[in-house]
Structure 1
Amino acid sequence: MSDTVYIKISQSTEVHEPEVRVKDIAQVHCRNKAAEARIKALKVTSFKERDREASYVGSVMDLLEELEGTGSSIQINSVGETDFIVSYNPQIKRRAALQWMKTAFVSAVSFCGAAFAIMTFNNDANVTDVFGNLYRLIMGAEPQGITVLEISYSVGLSLGILVFFNHFASWKITVDPTPIEVEMRLYEENLDKALIQNAGRKEAQTDVR
């Protein structure tokens, strides 16, 4: 009687150890715990350069062939992805001062870029004249310096940005993911697809030769 093993592989997995086993990249379930343990301990790949980041693109068909070789009475059912990526990220101690410098640099660039974009928009839309005309229509007098319109616009712009991005430091307005988080997930998905497709093309070229 054969043992049915269910295996669910994620499309992308990050590991910190150079030796990658099935248990590191997939969920495995089997009533026969001995067979489940053998499959979990099966080696998937090994990264030779342990101090550098690397990635490995694998196919579930190659993995299933190796899994079925662990025992003649094992039947594998894959309920996950057909292709997968294993990203190796060694846990290297990074200097705190360097990390703070990078964070400060990115924050400064983002702040200056956002400020320049807002000023360019205000100049193109001629917001100053619009506020001046609006003030004259409502108050019947010429504006003298900064008015309540400019103050309300500045406060509203800041609050609008915070509400839109749904994120301020570690505090979130709602449990929904922020627009940046959504875009990052889409970027990661597109990056994984590109890596898998490139790996498939390289294998096809190798087979032709």
Structure 2
Amino acid sequence: MSDTLYLLLDQNIQIEHPHVYLQDIARLSCSNSKILNRLRVMPVVNLPPDKPGRYVFSVMDLITQIQQKEPDLEISSIGEPNFIITFKNKPGPGFLLEWVKILFVGLSTFFGAGFSIMTFNNDVDVGSLFSNIYTQVTGQPSGHFTILEITYSIGIGVGVLFFFNHFGHMKITSDPTPMQVQMRLYEDDVNTTIIEDIDRMKNS
């Protein structure tokens, strides 16, 4: 009875050196420890050291390489059929630049959300609505700074905190925040688009 290798790959794997080995891009499991140790250090590809970027590979090509080294081995792939190797050979931006980018995104998000709320309130004329409600209920003219405006303002802030499930380093629940979900969906869409574009270029 031949041994079986279980191969698990993510859709996008980030590496920082051009010489890529199997253990760098895949999680491996095999009952035969000798085969497992040999395959962990199996060279997969040598990327151009001066060309960082994204490289698309097929699991079928990877299986072919493994079979050439271990012809009697059964291989079961339980991950992605195609995967991307993201090669970064340069250090990321400095600490100061990183904080500038975070500050810029934070301010853009804050003022953008505030502008959206203000334009919505103006479109539906919330001020006049609260004024009419206050006058009808109390019989007195509204001074535009009543319990309605106060509770509405507090409610928006509390609602945003609950919706984004995040305040500083604190989280209300252990669930991912809507921003994290959207970023994950965006990342998946980018990876899928890159893989499909490469497949179309190969088939054209």
- Give the TM-score of the pair, scaled to structure 2: 0.92
Q: Is the 8 A contact 1:12 1:192 kept in 2?
A: yes
Q: Is the 8 A contact 2:3 2:30 kept in 1?
A: yes
Does 2:74 match 1:75?
Answer: yes
Which structure 2 residues correspond to residues 110-125 of structure 1 after superposition, within 5 A?
A: 110-125=109-124
Q: Is the 8 A contact 2:18 2:47 kept in 1?
A: yes
Q: Using the TM superposition, give the Cα deviation of residue 194 of structure 1 relative to its aligned residue in structure 2, in angstroms.
A: 0.9
- Give the direction of change, closer, same or farther, for the CA distance of 1:169–1:18 in structure 2 (3 Å limit): farther
Q: Where does residue 149 of structure 2 map in the other structure?
A: 150
Which structure 2 residues correspond to residues 159-178 of structure 1 after superposition, within 5 A?
A: 159-178=158-177
Q: Deviations over 1:143-167 (max 9, x none)?
A: 2241121111111000001101111
Q: Deviations over 1:68-94 (max 9, x none)?
A: 111333222222221111112346153
Q: Using the TM superposition, give the Cα deviation of residue 138 of structure 1 relative to its aligned residue in structure 2, in angstroms.
A: 1.8
Stretches of structure 2 lacking an aligned partner (at least 5 in a row): none
Which structure 2 residues correspond to residues 179-198 of structure 1 after superposition, within 5 A?
A: 179-198=178-197
Which structure 2 residues correspond to residues 50-129 of structure 1 after superposition, within 5 A?
A: 53-90=52-89, 92=91, 94-129=93-128
Q: Deviations over 1:110-131 (max 9, x none)?
A: 2221111111001001011011
Q: Deviations over 1:38-72 (max 9, x none)?
A: 2111122233235x641111001111111011133
Q: Where does residue 16 of structure 2 map in the other structure?
A: 16
Return the alpha-carbon distance in structure 1 between the equivalents of residues 144 and 2 of structure 2: 84
- Give the direction of change, closer, same or farther, for the CA distance of 1:105–1:204 in structure 2 (3 Å limit): same
- Give the TM-score of the pair, scaled to structure 1: 0.89
Q: Is the 8 A contact 1:8 1:26 kept in 2?
A: yes
Q: Is the 8 A contact 1:21 1:44 kept in 2?
A: yes
Q: Is the 8 A contact 1:54 1:88 kept in 2?
A: yes
CA RMSD of aligned residues (A): 1.8
3-state DSSP of counterpart to 1:143 = coil
Q: Is the 8 A contact 2:127 2:144 kept in 1?
A: no
- Give the direction of change, closer, same or farther, for the CA distance of 1:145–1:202 in structure 2 (3 Å limit): closer
- Which deviates the most, 12-21 or 194-203? 12-21
- The letter for the 1-side match of 2:46 is S
Return the alpha-carbon distance in structure 2 between the equivalents of residues 90 and 152 of structure 1: 53
- The letter for the 2-side match of 1:7 is L
3-state DSSP of counterpart to 1:69 = helix
- The letter for the 2-side match of 1:120 is T
Return the alpha-carbon distance in structure 1 between the equivalents of residues 30 and 23 of structure 2: 13
Would you say how many aligned residue pairs link Structure 1 and Structure 2? 204
Q: Where does residue 28 of structure 1 map in the other structure?
A: 28
